[in-house]
Amino acid sequence: MNRRDTLKFLAGATAFAGTAGMLGRGIAFAQAKPFTLPPLGYANEALEPHIDAKTMQIHHDNHHAAYVNNLNNNVDKWPEMATKPVDEILSNLAAVPEGVRGLVRNNLGGHWNHTFFWELMTPGGAKAPAGDLKSAIDGAFGDFDKMKAAVKSAGLGRFGSGWAWLVVGKDKKLAVISSANQDSPQMEGAKGVIGVDVWEHAYYLKHQYKRGDYIDTWWNVVNWDKAADNFKKATA
């Protein structure tokens, strides 16, 4: 091989190495899964008899997983969904490109809502709020039972699929709201303290059409320590 051929070979090898490096990085990005399904933190059957194991399995392993998979399969359409804080995105959906706004709203909202929901439940926890959260509930609603009634009313009043929430609003006061589909409190400028999923997949196997019965029994599994922490962060 003469000097000219050697130089051509080296140049070609360098170009190939650069292309291979870029290809490798592209493959690595394509294989990356920035969104993950969080574990429940307890067994599927841990919330029985209030929420049955089969419902928990389907709800977590299938419904929530679908939102996570949709995000990972479409993150290339707007990579910022994997790098910006979720609360920031959900609080300002107008800043999301219009072409992916619906996808982000439904799937990132569903991912946030369900992660919040799993953390808000626990087996064998306290039966009622205490401390600052209890005082705030009493001040806003009169007492704990009246707050529960307001949440139930919001859940029953939500036509179709959605959520009922106890939130801290922009005025730093507690309020009860409901949201459609996988909309989150942040979309209303609020911060969640308690959220109950009233989609049929959350209760139909056990309660069929009786959404009210599901909401009533759901209070038995609320993690009031987590709710108190949510309230503290929301009012900070």
Residues 101 and 103: their CA atoms lie apart, in Å, by 5
Residues 35 and 126: their CA atoms lie apart, in Å, by 32
Which amino acid belongs to residue 145?
A: D
Q: What is the pLDDT of residue 30?
A: 46
Q: What is the pLDDT of residue 4?
A: 52
The strands making up 162-168's β-sheet, listed across from edge to edge, are: 174-180, 162-168, 191-197
Q: What is the pLDDT of residue 22?
A: 40
CA angle at residue 53 from 47 to 57, to 5 degrees? 115
First-to-last C-alpha distance (Å) of the chain: 73
Residue ranges of the alpha helices (H) in 79-162?
86-91, 98-103, 109-119, 131-141, 144-157
Q: What is the mean pLDDT of each run of 10 residues along the chain (236 residues)?
A: 48 45 43 89 97 98 98 96 96 97 98 98 94 98 98 97 97 97 97 98 96 98 98 96
Nearest of 171, 121, 123, 166 to residue 148 by alpha carbon: 166
Q: What is the pLDDT of residue 1?
A: 52
Q: Is 198 exposed, middle or buried (0-12, 13-18, 19+ CB in 10 A)?
A: buried
Q: What is the pLDDT of residue 7?
A: 43
Indicate the fold that domain 131-235 takes in CATH: minor pseudopilin epsh fold (3.55.40)
Residues 194 and 225: their CA atoms lie apart, in Å, by 11
Q: What is the pLDDT of residue 6?
A: 45
Q: What is the pLDDT of residue 108?
A: 98
Q: What is the pLDDT of residue 21?
A: 47
Could you give phi then psi for residue 33, rounded to 5 degrees?
-120, 90
Number of H helices, E strands in the chain: 11, 3
So where are the chain's domains?
Answer: 51-119, 131-235
Q: What is the pLDDT of residue 138?
A: 98
Residues 222 and 55: their CA atoms lie apart, in Å, by 17
CATH architecture of 51-119: Orthogonal Bundle (1.10)
Q: What is the pLDDT of residue 31?
A: 54
- 51-119 against 131-235: fold identical: no
